[in-house]
Structure 1
Amino acid sequence: MRVAIPGGHGQTGRAVASALRKRRVEAVPLGRAERACGSFAFHGCSAAYLIAPNMHADEPGYVADVLDDLRACGIEQVVYHSVAAPYTPDMPHHLGKARAEDLLRRCGLAWTILQPGAYVQNLDLTRPVRVPYDVHAVFGFADLDDVAEVAATVLTEPGHTGATYELASRSATVAELAAEAGVTATRVPGPSGQGAWLDAMFAYYDRHGLPVGTRTMQALLGR
């Protein structure tokens, strides 16, 4: 089996590729220029794991283009890397993923959607943690290696076509994770200076966190 990974050169793509290779599946990470090669880039692939660039200005447009390429190349299976709680009007980039999910469901391919929570790896727990939202807000944190293992599972095992899986490895607050690591956690007042979309996301986290259940991840990993 050969799996293309459009958008596969970032941390998620590398982790998914590693998980596939452990199953003796050939993984083909593709950047934007490589994907432009069309059928050459996808040659011999039977499935794709689709990751849009982070905070893409037009994720639905990007996803639509990739789906066109997949159909043109005869690839029949696609797994889309979305986000937990995609339909969240207060977070514009989440809404982009919600619209992209709709494209998946109508694409005519065998599709699966993964909706991971915030990566625990995004927090540097080797030193005091400073974040621009409430450190006591509850999150469903996803471990990147767990997400990659789930991705490899749904790509290589039957029974996942038409499924949408919300994924978290554990439920916790930033303060709890920091305490476990022996460091402090502090909320830094905003705005973050990282752009309107991120400020909107941090404001949402400040009010609501991003809770995600853990049972689906446990069931898919068999533990």
Structure 2
Amino acid sequence: MKVAILGGSGKTGRAVGAALAQAGVATRPLGRAAFDDLPAALDGADAVHVIAPNLLPDEPAYVADALAAAGEAGVGRVVYHSVASPYVPAMPHHLGKAVSEDLVRRSGLDWTILQPCAYVQNLVPALRAAADASGVLEVPYAVDRPFGMVDLLDVAAATAAVLTTPGHVGATYELGGPALVTVADIAAAAGLTARRVEAEADVHPWLRAMFDYYDDHGLPTGGVPLAALIGRAPATVADVLARTFS
């Protein structure tokens, strides 16, 4: 089996590639240059995992091109990396993934959609900086809202399972960690405190909209689908931090 990973050079793509390699699957990481002749880049692949760049202005167009190229190259299996809660009008980049999900479902390919929550690893650089400076983790949204923060390596393992085992065609899986946590909880697990600060004036408007949504609702997700896919309890925040900072 050979899996092409569109977006294979990013942190998610690299993690998925490593998980597939551990399962004995050959991978072909592809970047934006592959779009110069995407059908040729996908030729010979049995499946394609589609990961769009962050805050891509037109993700549906990116996904549509990937689906068309997969069809032309004879790649019948696609896994799309979406996001938790894609159908949120207040977050434009989430809505772009919702539209893309619809394209995947109507592609005629054997599809699976993954909807991961934010990775615990996303906060690691800020945790390191806070540990080296004030001891206070600062984020531009409320620190007491619930999130289903998830381990990137668990998401990668789930992706590998979906691509290498039967029964996942036509499925949509929300991937959250084992328990709801707050940013304050994560800071405390690292021996720090947390506080909300105002976003910088030049922050991308889509990020500002996301921060506003997080202020009101956080991003809660459940952990049961992920546990079922990887065959064990998902890693906790403490597990990820211990592995990262050991």
For the aligned pair, the TM-score class normalised by the smaller chain equals over 0.9
Distance in 1, matches of 2:79 and 2:52, equals: 12
1:198 pairs with 2:210 = no
Give the Cα–Cα distance (whole angstroms) in 2 for the partners of residues 35 and 195 of structure 1. 26
Q: Does 1:134 align with 2:142?
A: yes
Q: Is 1:188 matched with 2:194?
A: no
Partner of 2:92: 92
Gaps of 5+ in 1: none
Aligned pairs, number: 223
Q: Distance in 2 between matches of 1:31 and 1:178?
A: 34
Identify which range, 188-197 or 75-84, moves more after superposition.
188-197
The CA deviation at 1:7 is 1.4
Is residue 62 of structure 1 aligned with residue 71 of structure 2? Answer: no
Contact in 2 for aligned 1:132/1:192 (Cα 8 Å) = no
Which one is further off, 92-101 or 170-179?
Answer: 170-179
Give the 3-state SS of the residue equivalent to 1:121 in structure 2.
Answer: helix
Distance 2:81 2:96 in 1: 12
Q: What is aligned with 1:160?
A: 168
Q: What is the CA distance between 1:48 and its match in structure 2?
A: 0.5
Contact map agreement 2:43 2:74 (CA 8 A) in 1 = no
Indicate conservation of the 8 Å contact 1:191/1:199, yes or no. no
Instruction: Say which is worse superposed, 31-40 or 1-10, in terms of deviation.
Output: 31-40
1:198 is displaced (CA, Å) by 0.3
Partner Cα separation in structure 2 for residue 203 and residue 179 of structure 1: 23
Report the Cα offset of residue 35 of structure 1: 3.4
1:112 matched to 2:112: yes
SS at match of 1:37: helix
Which stretches in structure 2 are left out of the alignment for 5+ residues?
Answer: 233-246
Q: Which amino acid aligns with 1:186?
A: R
Amino-acid identity (%): 57
Residue 43 (structure 1) shift: 2.3
Residue of structure 2 in register with 1:11 after alignment: 11
Residue by residue over 1:123-155, the C-alpha shift from the partner in whole angstroms, topping out at 9 and shown as x without a partner, is 023323210000111001111000000000000
Which residue of 151, 158, 176 maps to 1:143?
151
| Aligned position for 1:48 | 48
What one-letter code is carried by the residue in structure 2 that aligns with 1:167? L
